[in-house]
Amino acid sequence: MSFSVPITPVTAGPFSAWLIEDHSVPVVSIAWAWGGGAALDAEGQEGALAMAAALLTEGAGDLPALAFADALRDSAIGIGFGAQRDGFEGSLRALTDALPEAIRLANLAMRAPRLDASAIARVRARAVAGARAALETPRGQVGRAFWAAAYPGHPAGRPAGGTVESLTALPEAALRTALARQIRAEGLIIAAAGAITPAALAALLPSLFAGLPAGAPPSAPALPAFRAFGTEVLRVPGPQSTVQFGQPAIAVDDPDWEGLQLVLRVLGGGGFSSRLMEEVRVKRGLTYGIGVGLDQIFGQGVVLGSAATDNAQVAEMLAVTRAEWSRMADSGPTEAEIADAVAFLTGNLPLQFTDTRRIASTLLALRRNGRPIDFLDRRAARLAALTPATTARIAARVLAGPLSVMVAGDPPRV
């Protein structure tokens, strides 16, 4: 299947963007990002940047929160900001007629956030409630414990959104410091999609980022090696256990990245067509669902899987999972499995280009990962070239090591 992605590079002074131009509907989406992110939060102030990001649309300049929300609603504009573990993103979407107003409001939010006391109290309450709710479920507890065990002492092991304790104690000064450190005039990656020409986009970019402080955000601390921690149990009362398991993978710019995605789809990412679903659910009924994929953090990949099962079945589920993991590491996927996975990965790509917001987000991810501008145009050929020998080598390279397993529940044995 041939699928061409017509990306146009756009330059406007110090700013550069990738654009997919499409005038079929009068909508434009722009997405941008910096490095840094929640990893720059001071110890004990986890969640500062995430909370500050939520405050950017709670009033800016001479517009308090309600007036800012009214301005967005009146022109059908969407603006959002978010902190990731290793980056910070902003985005806007607007009808072409409202694009100048969207640019003005997004710039105002970045350049002159109000951080009114009432808005801080409201956003803090929501963030604390979210952090508390995350720890009320085994899924939330197991995820937090897994990353803390894998990357102890590093920001990757801390919740990017903060904890109940850190969010409750965050002073206003920490929020302002987080924004001042992160939102800068340099270090930007930009992508856009929709009913806008390259020349028009180039004319808008300086206005979008006008008045931001010079310089780029600091670099996040280098990611240490994944710490294999064996199997650990976080005792949580209840009839079921939630299990998270994983191991280190490869860098996002490694030539084997797409081949590994294929291997993991066959192993546990293809729903009922995956080996783990077949062996763990279909044949043995040990879980309703089990999945495996690639998580991306600080430019590195982590193979991550999860499942839930009755406490008494945890040991058997893990034994079957480890056996299938080893079988994949020993021999890789079959030729038929490769063909099915290639067909899905190739045919699924166009679905990422169904609306301007998804397109801009996809382009932004490509740029953050350092992909060349023709990366997607050559993707089908790269996937078609994968052979049983190649995928077996990749499976052995990544999956041969031991799994690290975190269990939140009360199993009698693991």
pLDDT digits (tens, 9 = 90+) for 194-206: 999 999 999 999 9
User: Does the residue 213 lie in any domain?
Assistant: no
String of DSSP letters for 315-336: HHHHHHHHHHHHHHHHH---HH
User: Does the residue 74 lie in any domain?
Assistant: yes
CATH number (domain holding residue 83):
3.30.830.10
User: Does the residue 256 lie in any domain?
Assistant: yes
Residues 6 or more apart from 21 whose CB is under 8 A from it?
6, 8, 193, 194, 195, 196, 197, 198
Confidence of residue 349 (pLDDT cuts 50, 70, 90): confident
User: Does the residue 275 lie in any domain?
Assistant: yes
Question: In the predicted model, is pLDDT for residue 50 greater than 70?
Answer: yes
My answer on whether 360 and 397 are in the same domain is yes
Compute the distance between CA of residue 103 and CA of residue 206 in angstroms, rounded to an integer.
Answer: 10
User: Does the residue 91 lie in any domain?
Assistant: yes
CB distance 275 to 291 below 8 Å: no
My answer on whether 287 and 351 are in the same domain is yes
Give the mean model confidence (pLDDT) for residues 130-146: 91
Give the mean model confidence (pLDDT) for residues 353-362: 94
My answer on whether 47 and 196 are in the same domain is yes
Question: In the predicted model, is pLDDT for residue 4 greater than 90?
Answer: no
My answer on whether 376 and 297 are in the same domain is yes
My answer on whether 291 and 395 are in the same domain is yes
Question: In the predicted model, is pLDDT for residue 1 greater than 80?
Answer: no
String of DSSP letters for 255-286: TTHHHHHHHHIIIIISGGGSHHIIIIIITT--
My answer on whether 269 and 187 are in the same domain is no
Domain count, the chain: 2
User: Does the residue 225 lie in any domain?
Assistant: no
Give the mean model confidence (pLDDT) for residues 183-198: 98
Question: In the predicted model, is pLDDT for residue 93 greater than 80?
Answer: yes
Q: Give me the chain's average pLDDT, please.
A: 95
My answer on whether 260 and 193 are in the same domain is no
My answer on whether 284 and 369 are in the same domain is yes
User: Does the residue 306 lie in any domain?
Assistant: yes
My answer on whether 245 and 385 are in the same domain is yes
Question: HSE (CB half, 13 Å, CA atoms) of 21?
Answer: 10
pTM of the complete model:
0.93
Domain around 99: 8-208
- Give the domain-ending residue among 208, 223, 239: 208
My answer on whether 191 and 301 are in the same domain is no
Cβ count within 10 A of residue 167: 26
User: According to the model, what pLDDT value does residue 2 have?
Assistant: 58
> Torsions phi, psi of 294, nearest 5?
-105, 120
User: Does the residue 1 lie in any domain?
Assistant: no
My answer on whether 300 and 402 are in the same domain is yes
The proportion of the chain whose per-residue pLDDT surpasses 90, expressed as a percent, equals: 93
My answer on whether 163 and 289 are in the same domain is no
Confidence of residue 270 (pLDDT cuts 50, 70, 90): confident
- Give the domain-ending residue among 159, 193, 208: 208
Compute the distance between CA of residue 225 and CA of residue 157 in angstroms, rounded to an integer.
Answer: 12
